[in-house]
Amino acid sequence: MSTIIAKHVVTPDSTALVISSNFAVGNGSSMVSRGAKSDTWDLRVDGTLTDDGLKPYMSKMVHLMADQNSSMNDNSIQALIRFVKGGGQLFSGALR
């Protein structure tokens, strides 16, 4: 099965932001195909997370996928830390 992952776009009716190191494989692709009302940030496609990228989600949930063999660079990690310290909600885990 082939999945095309689009670049990140903020949609007004999204309920969350889901971050993955590779949406084309694993549970991320099944979540996207189910039509969840979540925006996506694929680190391979969209690159490093930024404060500006996370800002629209301060009143929404940010879900960090627990992708196998994945890693984030320090700038992305620091942006997530600032997001949480600023009152943002972060969930990290695998979808089942």
Let me know if residue 6 belongs to a domain: no
pLDDT the model gives residue 12 = 87
How confident is the model over 42-94, as pLDDT tens digits? 888 899 999 999 999 999 999 888 666 677 899 999 999 999 999 999 998 76
Let me know if residue 11 belongs to a domain: no
Let me know if residue 10 belongs to a domain: no
Task: List the domain range (segments joined by +) for residue 25.
Answer: 16-93
Let me know if residue 71 belongs to a domain: yes
Average pLDDT for 27-41: 66
Let me know if residue 70 belongs to a domain: yes
What residues are paired with 20 via a beta bridge? 42
Quote the number of domains for the chain.
1
DSSP output for 22-71: -TTSTHHHHHHHTT-SEEEEEHHHH-S--HHHHGGGTTSEEEEE--TT--
Let me know if residue 8 belongs to a domain: no
Whether residue 1 is predicted with pLDDT greater than 50 in this model: the reply is: no
Q: Which residues contact 6 (CB under 8 A, 6 or more apart)?
A: 40, 45
Q: Which residues contact 66 (CB under 8 A, 6 or more apart)?
A: 92, 93, 94
